[in-house]
Structures are given as C-alpha cells and as structure tokens.
Amino acid sequence: MTQVEAYRQIVEARAGGACEYCRLLQAATGVTFHIEHFVPRSRGGLTVMSNLVLSCPGCNLSKADRASGEDQSGVTQSLFNPRDYEPSILGWHLHFSLDGDTGIISPRTSIGEATVNTLRINDPNRVFARKLQIFVGLIA
Ligand SMILES: [Zn+2]
C-alpha cells in the first residue's frame, strides 16, 4: 500500500464518498477516485489529512500539479481548497452553485471561476454523470 492509500478510508468518509470539487459520487461511477494532494507533492505538499482531497479522476487529472488557475478575467486565483472549510460542503456552496436541472456547476466567486475552468468541472462527461446522479437522488 502506498503512503497515500493508507489515508483512503478516512479521506473517503470525510468527503461522503463524493468528489470534493465536482460532487460526483464515487460509488455510482464504478471508478476509484483519487486521493489528491491539494498542494502537489512536486511543490512540497505533504501527505497529511489537511492536504488530502477526494477527487474524481477527471478533476484530479485536469488539476494536475496546480493549486491556482485563471478566473474569467484571466487573473490568477487560488483554486478552491476544500480543506479551508469545515465542513467542506459549506465552502463548496460559498464558491459554487449546482443547477439541478442541467447538472452544470456555476461559480459564485473568482476562486470558483478559476476552479471550474482549471478542473474542467463542466466537461460534458462529468455533467452527464452528475445529471444522472441528481436524477436518481444521489446529489442534492
Ligand atoms: Zn470531480
């Protein structure tokens, strides 16, 4: 077991089994989500609970080794860090809103804008999966 995998059970439980960026539910995707380092290891990020995030592969692969991105004005902003909020879902609602009909996530803040853009949160595949999960009542 790799060092980060030792944290999987508790990171998944803390996240309620959902991607902490785009809210897809791991159990309903058939895919094992990533235990992501918010501050990438390549930039000195540690494998500690305060730096780990449950992320679907789409969000994590888009985020790559970044902790910042551009908002809609092209200004560099920090990405949404779920660990800045307790519980993280409150922070999520501060920076994003979810349209229950379309599955589209809209940013409420410049941090939200940078995160939606950088993580490609409204990639058609993720929007489709999110819409299905909303339809069957897995995401409210
Ligand atoms: Zn995601």
How far is the centre of ligand 1, averaged over its atoms, from the C-alpha of 21 (Å)? Answer: 5
For the chain, what percent of residues have pLDDT higher than 70?
99
How far is the centre of ligand 1, averaged over its atoms, from the C-alpha of 75 (Å)? Answer: 23
Q: What is the pLDDT of residues 109-140, one digit of tens each?
A: 999 999 999 999 999 999 999 999 999 999 98
Predicted confidence band of residue 1 (pLDDT cuts 50, 70, 90)? low
Q: Look over the chain and give the mean of its residue pLDDT values, rounded to a whole number.
A: 96
How far is the centre of ligand 1, averaged over its atoms, from the C-alpha of 54 (Å)? Answer: 8
Q: How many domains does the chain have?
A: 1
125 found inside a domain: yes
From the list 85, 81, 27, 24, the residue with the least C-alpha distance to 58 is 24
19 found inside a domain: yes
* Token pair listed for 75: 């200004």
Mean pLDDT score, 79-96: 96
Q: What is the pLDDT of residues 42-75, one digit of tens each?
A: 999 999 999 999 999 999 999 999 999 999 999 9
Question: Which residue reads 């004005």 in tokens?
Answer: 73
Domain residues for 68?
4-135
How far is the centre of ligand 1, averaged over its atoms, from the C-alpha of 124 (Å)? Answer: 12
Please state the pTM of the whole predicted model. Answer: 0.95
Mean pLDDT score, 93-114: 97
36 found inside a domain: yes
What pLDDT score does 2 carry?
A: 75
Using alpha carbons, list the distances in angstroms from residue 94 to 8, 102, 106, 110, 116.
Answer: 26, 20, 11, 11, 14
140 found inside a domain: no
122 found inside a domain: yes
SS3 52: strand
How far is the centre of ligand 1, averaged over its atoms, from the C-alpha of 3 (Å)? Answer: 22
78 found inside a domain: yes
SS3 108: coil
